[in-house]
Structure 1
Amino acid sequence: MVTILSNQHPFIIRSAQESDAKELVQVRLQMDGETENMDREKGEAYLDEAAFRQLIRDDRKYESHLFLVAEMNGNIAGFSRCEGNELKRLAHKVEFGVGVLREYWGYGIGRQLLEESIQWAWAHADIKKMQLSVLETNDRAIALYKKLGFEVEGQLKQDKLLSDGKYYDTILM
């Protein structure tokens, strides 16, 4: 567990616990409805409390998985996951994903979740690569990823259809 003081607003980064499952259902649902930077629209690929509990249990089983939550004022403000692969040819890398509720944007929570995940990944000798995907219009996230050492490795053309009826590219880093 790490306590961070950002703009005079302390928050905690810690491992997800099964007791977080109920709150995570609501956080993910709200998050998906607040921005089009996520892959899902609100309510899509819905995970109920039991599914979150199982996900947290599963992530604890595998050394190449990490599920973190950011907590501010006793509430979950965001979360991140690194998911590895058990296949030998892919076991050297993890996929990173992050989300922060809009009301908590600007406190450095996403950055801290990413930094903690990077430290965790590099502490595991078997992990050689972290990868992520980001919507081309998410300039702040792309700038942060580049600042922390990620490089653009590819681009999926017209990968996502947004509410304006236009298709947008996904950047692979």
Structure 2
Amino acid sequence: MRKREKVEIMIREAIPADAKDIIAFSKKTGAETPYLAYGAEGLELSEAFEELYLEDLMEKDNNVMLIATINNKQLIGLASVGATDKPKLRHVGEVGITVEKDYWGFGIGSVLMEEIETWAIESGVIRRLELTVHGGNERAIHLYEKMGYQQEAVMPRAMLIDGEFIDGVMMSLMID
């Protein structure tokens, strides 16, 4: 009989000290799946640049980056909302979410999406969350639909992966 290991998953806002782990996480997850906008190269940012980005993010009321860690150490998931400062568009947040492949199917994506929605409601600024997902990523599309996101459009040739064009599916959730 296998002994079950108990792990504690914590979700919190990213801080500048997380920059190194976020960059390493992007390289690992980029190599694990074709569904991200980047590959094994990761985000291709320096640690110093990521630190400054996270510092700036903390000052904004319409942007956030959340990280999920195990036992308050290993980064296993990341979710973010990015929005512009332009007055006519600052209420629209673009959602990004990534979970390390070893942790797919454990509900971490659902929890991160719930936290993003809660943050958006509490922000008082974000009124629309939107995202574009790889058309073949059925697991993610199912998650977003479960969270109340509606499909708005299929964008032919939105991505080019290994010489093959892939459709993108644009989805959104109104925050009211």
TM-score with structure 1 setting the length: 0.90
Determine helix, strand or coil for the equivalent of 1:22.
Answer: helix
Match of 1:3 in 2: none
Q: Which runs of 4+ in 1 moved over 2 A?
A: 7-10
Q: Is the 8 A contact 1:9 1:107 kept in 2?
A: no
What does 1:23-172 align with in structure 2 at a 5 Å threshold? 23-43=21-41, 45-73=43-71, 74-163=73-162, 165-172=163-170
Q: Distance in 2 between matches of 1:93 and 1:100?
A: 23
User: Is residue 16–residue 69 contact of structure 1 (8 Å, CA) maintained in 2?
Assistant: yes
Q: 2 CA distance for matches of 1:39 and 1:63? A: 25
TM-score by length of 2: 0.89
- RMSD (CA atoms): 1.5
Given that 1:83 and 1:96 are in contact with CA atoms closer than 8 Å, whether structure 2 keeps it comes out as yes
Q: State the partner residue of 2:174.
A: none
Written as runs of structure 1 = structure 2, the 5 A alignment for 1:14-25 is 14-25=12-23
**1:49 counterpart letter in structure 2:** E
* Structure 2 unmatched runs, 5+: 172-176
Aligned-partner residue type, residue 159 of structure 1: A
The offset of 1:45, in angstroms, is 4.5
Note the C-alpha offset of 1:44: 5.6
Question: Unaligned 5+ residue runs, structure 1?
Answer: 1-6
